[in-house]
Amino acid sequence: MVNYTKILFPVDIYKKNFFRIVPHVKALAEHFDAEVHLVYVAKTNEYYRDDECAVRDAKCEHGQVITRTVNEFVQKHCSALSKPKVVVLDGEPDVELLAYIKNMNIDIVMMATRGRSPVGKALLGSVAGSLAFNASVPIFLVRPDKD
């Protein structure tokens, strides 16, 4: 029997409508009593940003500003999820997410996809596509604009 105990929900705080798949994540998590891992992968320049700390004359640890931003976003848009584990990583999204799946023994990935054309994917790449081809676990893709 299939049993999902850990769900990876990669978040993108800059994509419009991403949060519309939260009900899907919530339904699966509740059905299996699974732990939800909300993971945001920041680009290096975003992860090491300290502009808010400089304004407040405070010294920040690396990743503090983006972690605070992600936590605020999750509180606003993902409050329906029961105690998700929120993680911010630094690097390339597909590489970091694949490593996270392996290291945290994730059972399934649920993520939004934009459903771009093949040309758009070739020019811009696709994290969802990379995970679909390289992950060792099932990938549940939802187009939030079509749901």
What is the Cα 136 distance to its own chain's centre?
Answer: 17
* Distance of alpha carbon 21 from alpha carbon 80, whole angstroms: 11
| More reliable by pLDDT, 46 or 103 | 103
pTM of the model: 0.82
* Distance of alpha carbon 18 from alpha carbon 78, whole angstroms: 10
**What pLDDT score was predicted for residue 114?**
66
* Distance of alpha carbon 19 from alpha carbon 11, whole angstroms: 8
**What pLDDT score was predicted for residue 123?**
39
* Distance of alpha carbon 45 from alpha carbon 62, whole angstroms: 11
Instruction: Please name the residue ranges forming H helices in the chain.
Output: 22-32, 44-47, 51-55, 64-77, 93-103, 118-124, 127-134
Q: What is the mean pLDDT of residues 127-146?
A: 84
In this model, does residue 116 exceed pLDDT 70?
no
Please count the other Cβ atoms lying within 10 Å of the Cβ belonging to residue 96. Answer: 19
User: What tokens appear for 21 in the block?
Assistant: 């798949």
User: What tokens appear for 15 in the block?
Assistant: 């994509």
Kindly indicate the confidence band of residue 13, based on its pLDDT and cuts at 50, 70 and 90: confident
User: What tokens appear for 8 in the block?
Assistant: 């990876």
Q: What is the mean pLDDT of residues 51-71?
A: 68
Q: What is the mean pLDDT of residues 46-74?
A: 69
User: What tokens appear for 78 in the block?
Assistant: 């993902």
Q: Which of 16-30, 42-56, 88-102, 121-135 has the lowest mean pLDDT?
A: 42-56
